[in-house]
Amino acid sequence: MKEKQNSHSSKRRDFLKKTSIASLGISIVPRHVLGGVGFTAPSDKLVVAGIGVGGKGESDIKSFADSGLAEIAFLCDVDDRRAANSRARFPKAKYYKDYREMLEKEGDKIDAVSVSTPDHNHAVQAMAAMEMGKHVYVQKPLTHDIYEARQLTEAADKYKVVTQMGNQGASNNGTRLMSEWFDAGLIGEIEEVYCWTDRPVWPQGIPWPQTSEAVPSELDWDLWLGTAPYKEYVGGLVPFNWRGWWDYGTGALGDMGCHLVEVPVRVLNLKYPKDVQCSVGSVYVDEFKRGYFPESCPPSSHVTMTFPKTDKTKGDIKLHWMDGGIQPTRPEELGPNEVFGDGGNGVLFVGTKGKMMCGTYSENPQLLPTSKTERTKVAEKYERVPGGAGGHYKQWVEAALAGYGKKEVSSPFSVAGPLTETLLIANLAIRGFDIRKELENGNVEYPGRYIEMLWDAKNMRVTNFEEANQFVKRNYREGWTL
């Protein structure tokens, strides 16, 4: 879509402008000048490069292509096995294993980059693209660390690029309808919100494997590790189960929180929480002997966050997060045979005048009792996204083609960044649960358990438990920087 910036093309443009002025009295003005910073002619296709093109990355780039407005021109994946389907679907796309090499060699031909890799590499890959002026689409959660989320949020504005996080439910009608119900006063003032999931659906609360294995020939293990500490390759980690290990993933909160917590954040205009507390599920390895596996996320957790008053709430809001199959008590207004949320996942708002709920992606929004839903009509206040969750991809492509600031998207980093930070603040409490201190008498204590952590959002730090702040910003492996 963009011309290659070389001396030959520059001289040619200069020549055309000069001859036009001399002979016709007019000048040829570059299209980016006509449209402003980031403008792309709407008749062209968005040239997209995919970093991580297997699994979710495969479906992401297919969705961009299906919009009819994007050309998938470059593919990058550290695992040839995972990339096989995308390479077959887009045979003309040039393939790389190292995203840094791809951006260096092809940067002048790329308009936008899709990042769908393990959480621990999101930030460095997205930042590298943004620094080159590329629009970016990044799978949820936006980042692995709180510091990274803040940096990407600020970078999107600094580099004037169109951004979108891959929490497709942000484009669904459900969130907008529930906002309209709340704004109309149908459930009164909110007292508490509950979000829950049946994740993890991968192993957690387990020890790191004791034996390593040979690295598959198709996988570049060093590139896969990226920012994470070096470890020998173990089976069962790639391509999916990395989610349960803190070095790479963010647990159930990172996987599903962006789909579920997004709903109350949008409906109530919540910002950063001011405190967080948690309890976690235990794994016992013997009688009265609790397992200690600090490298692994726990099998289940219940986190409670307090959000300060907003322009949509009367006071502070308590938001409960539950995972590992834990759910809140069924509301009395729900019939005994009616499904709570969508079964495994859901969101429940408890108001002074009523309640409302939905499932994953804000689907199937319901007023309680559910008989109220069909007979309640409110004015449409919030513009819908054509195609809902499926339209999340085309929305970003169209916005990128229009240029920075020209068209709204549902989950720009200005929204996705703070949302991701909120989830990672909850993870601070979970990770703090396993901080262990050796005592002089040979015993150990766990000072992060059963306390409430106070959060200073401006400075990104816990103010009453310093040890937890080690998880705000990781130390990357040598050779990797943000």
pLDDT in tens, the chain (482 residues): 443 333 333 333 343 333 333 333 333 333 333 344 444 444 489 999 999 999 999 999 999 999 999 999 999 999 999 999 999 999 999 999 999 999 999 999 999 999 999 999 999 999 999 999 999 999 999 999 999 999 999 999 999 999 999 999 999 999 999 999 999 999 999 989 999 999 999 999 999 999 999 999 999 999 999 999 999 999 999 999 999 999 999 999 999 999 999 999 999 999 999 999 999 999 999 999 999 999 999 999 999 999 999 999 999 999 999 999 999 999 999 999 999 999 999 999 999 999 999 999 999 999 999 999 999 999 999 999 999 999 999 999 999 999 999 999 999 999 999 999 999 999 999 999 999 999 999 899 999 999 999 999 999 999 999 999 999 999 999 999 99
**Is 191 in a helix, a strand, or coil?**
strand
The rounded distance, in Å, linking the Cα atoms of 212 and 218 is: 17
129 token code pair? 């693209």
Burial of 226 (0-12, 13-18, 19+ CB in 10 A): buried
Half-sphere exposure of 179 (CA within 13 A, CB side): 22
| 461 bridge partner residues | 456
Instruction: Quote the DSSP letter at residue 247.
Output: T
pLDDT at 247: 98
The rounded distance, in Å, linking the Cα atoms of 46 and 73 is: 10
Strand order in the sheet with 135-138: 94-96, 70-76, 46-51, 112-115, 135-138, 163-165
Helix (H), strand (E) counts: the chain: 14, 19
What domains does the chain contain, in order, with CATH numbers? 42-169 (3.40.50.720), 172-385+412-471 (3.30.360.10)
Least Cα distance to 260 among 431, 140, 126 occurs for 140
* Residue reference for tokens 């099998």: 299
pTM, full prediction: 0.90
pLDDT at 35: 40
* Residue reference for tokens 């200073």: 456
- Cβ–Cβ under 8 Å, residues 193 and 317: yes
Least Cα distance to 421 among 155, 145, 194 occurs for 145
The rounded distance, in Å, linking the Cα atoms of 8 and 148 is: 40
Residues 6+ apart with CB under 8 A from 183: 312, 381
How would you classify residue 119: left for phi > 0, otherwise alpha for psi between -120 and 50, otherwise beta? Answer: alpha
pLDDT at 442: 87
Residues 6+ apart with CB under 8 A from 282: 290, 291, 298
Instruction: Quote the DSSP letter at residue 194.
Output: E
pLDDT at 268: 98
- Cβ–Cβ under 8 Å, residues 148 and 119: no
pLDDT at 335: 96
Burial of 353 (0-12, 13-18, 19+ CB in 10 A): exposed
pLDDT at 298: 98
Least Cα distance to 301 among 421, 429, 206, 419 occurs for 429
CA dihedral 185, 187, 191, 193 (to 10 degrees): -110
76 token code pair? 């990058």
